[in-house]
Amino acid sequence: MTEALLKQFPQLRLIPQSNQVRFLHTRIRDATSSREDYVFFADRLIRLIVEEGLNCIPVADLEVNTPTQVPYNGVKSVHGICGVSIMRAGESMEQALRETCRGVRIGKILIQRDETTADKAPDTRFSYSKVPLDIHERIVFLMDPMLATGGSAAKAAEILIDKYKVKEENIIFLNVVSCPEGLTNFSSRFPKILVVTSAIDDGLNEHKYILPGLGDFGDRYFGTTH
């Protein structure tokens, strides 16, 4: 299934499935992991996802002089970068972006979902947004750790494109765990948005939860599980 999705959607990037990535997933998926361990290992994994996203931004050639007076042919970013987190779980990904992009600007989008029906994807409703004024001139890292049905991510992308005039090809969606249903829904609607994820799980159950998944990412990260 994973290989078929990667072939069907060339805009999909699955970070290398190294032993270290598998180890981090093992720790955050373990139901017995403490909150402290969960946050620590989730932060390490998110950092890898952000770094992979940065590998995908457009660059231009730049030559600099080294201390040995020998020039080095490097690169520079073509556009400014900003992050937009889908509240609340997406806020867990902000720190990794701040640590890798000095002075990065970060916006917020709140999407409320009606999950009262289990036989269809939850309805999504836009409630709030606050983004940099020049967001349409920047590469936007849209951040949400879980891609289940794809409804919230699709609504957020729609807001960025329609309300804030961000070019579709300037959006990179950073995600921790996804599933075939969500990827198909999202990538079919937004074929120019690059999706960077660290896992493609088996699918959704009848309640639209990702399996095997890891539970509610936001609740476990922020310590609001009951």
The answer to whether 219 is a known catalytic residue is yes
The average pLDDT across 97-108 equals 95
CA distance 135 to 148: 26
Which pTM value belongs to this model? 0.92
Cβ atoms of 108 and 144 closer than 8 Å: no
Catalytic site residue from 47, 105, 113, 189: 113
Domain boundaries, the chain: 2-222
Q: Quick: pLDDT tens for 137-163.
A: 999 999 999 999 999 999 999 999 999
CA distance 95 to 111: 21
CA distance 212 to 202: 7
Measured CA distances, 39 to 26, 33, 52, 58, 220 (Å): 13, 10, 20, 31, 8
The answer to whether 216 is a known catalytic residue is yes
The answer to whether 30 is a known catalytic residue is no
For residue 224, the SS3 value is coil
The answer to whether 125 is a known catalytic residue is no
Catalytic site residue from 22, 26, 117, 125: 117
Q: Quick: pLDDT tens for 17-75.
A: 999 999 999 999 999 999 999 999 999 999 999 999 999 999 999 999 999 999 999 99
pLDDT at 86 over 90: yes
CATH class entry, domain 2-222: alpha beta
Q: What is the pLDDT of residue 118?
A: 43
